[in-house]
Each structure stands twice: as C-alpha cells, then as structure tokens.
A and B are shown apart, each in its own frame.
Chain A
Amino acid sequence: RKEVEQDPGPFNVPEGATVAFNCTYSNSASQSFFWYRQDCRKEPKLLMSVYSSGNEDGRFTAQLNRASQYISLLIRDSKLSDSATYLCVVNRDNYGQNFVFGPGTRLSVLP
C-alpha cells in the first residue's frame, strides 16, 4: 500500500460544479499536510496548507481528519482554469526531507 493515496480520477465536471477529492495517508505520525496543483508539463504549485481545524481559501476548502487519516479538498463553482492535477502532500514529521507526494488526481472542468 502506498503511503499517500488519492482518488484515481480523472474527474470530468461541468463549469460551476462542486467537486471533492480525497487523500488517505498511512503514517499516523504525519504532521503537516498540503494540497498542490500541477498543470500539464509544469511544476507543482502550492494551493493551500491544511490545518487541523480545516481552512478555506475562496472557492477551495481543505479538511483534515486525523482519526481516519484522510484529507479532503473541495472546489466550489469550478472554473475552466481549475483543470489540473491535484497533489496531496504529507510530511511524516517536522523535517523537510520527509514530504511524501501522492500520485495526483486529474480534474478536467468542461465548458
């Protein structure tokens, strides 16, 4: 089993839809959590950090459930520009070398 697993996708949704991605992690000692987006043939870019109490940034909401060891990302009112691959990233401890990247979930927002 991979240490970080994500919905396999792809997700094809119409503009304006709400879409949710899930990510599970196996290491219960994991400390920090992030969502990155990666456009085709581009570098990963930080979308948002995920905090224990959950957090929101505009149309994006991230949740963390430590007991069940999963992280979610909700995108409301999808835009064409949201089309990308979304990477779940987990840090096993407080050391930078222990980031683990999920394989990503691809989202296509259709007109």
Chain B
Amino acid sequence: NAGVTQTPKFQVLKTGQSMTLQCAQDMNHNSMYWYRQDPGMGLRLIYYSASEGTTDKGEVPNGYNVSRLNKREFSLRLESAAPSQTSVYFCASSEAGGSQPQHFGDGTRLSIL
C-alpha cells in the first residue's frame, strides 16, 4: 500500500551543492508532479509530467531539472542549490486529466545553508 514514495525525507545541503530527489508511484498513474511548499503559501508547481517521456515547466521551474525515468519514477534535480530553495518538496501523481485528484508523497524537507 505504498502509493507515492519520496526519498530522502530530510536533507541539508550547502549552497552550490547538487542533489536529486527521488519519487516513485505504484498506482500506474500517467501524470506526476513536483511541488514546493513554503510557509504561508500554497503549493507551487515546479515541473510536471503528463505521461512517460514528457515533462513541462510549472510555475516555478528555475533552478530545477526533472527526469521521467519510466512510468513509475519522476526525479527532481537541484544542480546548484541556493538558500531560496529551502522548502518542503512534494511529489504527486494522478490519473490523466484535471478532474482526477492528486495523491501525494510524504515530502522531502530540504535546507540549504
């Protein structure tokens, strides 16, 4: 009953370091998403993948890259971390189409010093 699994759960980086956040879902969903959540703000979409082999920018893509490795996995990479990227990152998946709700992983808490 895993649903959406994110790793790691916590990470502390120094400015300029790189890292990849991993996400996998076992619900056979076509669409996957990466969001960030900052205090006092709603979730903001970083990147999404409507289906295997496609990725597109969301509202706040600068400083990030993504890879849709296969239908199950969607990773988010920070090439050169900046303090402004300190946030909680959530991966989500859904059936195709906007009428279907999204299912979230339990988040990665990332601090950039």
A positions within 8 Å CB-CB of B: 2, 4, 31-32, 34, 41-46, 49, 87, 91-104
Contacts and interface: CB of A to CB of B under 8 A. Distances in A.
B58 A95 contact: no
Contacts of A43: 90, 104-107
Nearest to B58: A97
Interface of B: 31, 33, 35, 40-45, 48, 50, 56, 58, 90, 94, 96-107
Binding site secondary structure of chain B: loop
12 contacts: A43-B90, A44-B43, A91-B99, A94-B97, A95-B97, A96-B31, A96-B97, A96-B98, A97-B56, A99-B98, A101-B43, A103-B40
Nearest to A91: B98
Given A96-B31, A97-B50, A99-B102, A42 B107 contact: yes
Nearest to B109: A41
A100 B105 CA distance: 18
Given A96-B33, A97-B56, A97-B58, A46 B101 contact: yes
Given A32-B98, A103-B40, A97 B45 contact: yes
Contacts of B90: 43-44
Given A32-B99, A45-B104, A49-B101, A96 B42 contact: no
B94 A96 contact: yes
A6 to B, nearest CB: 9
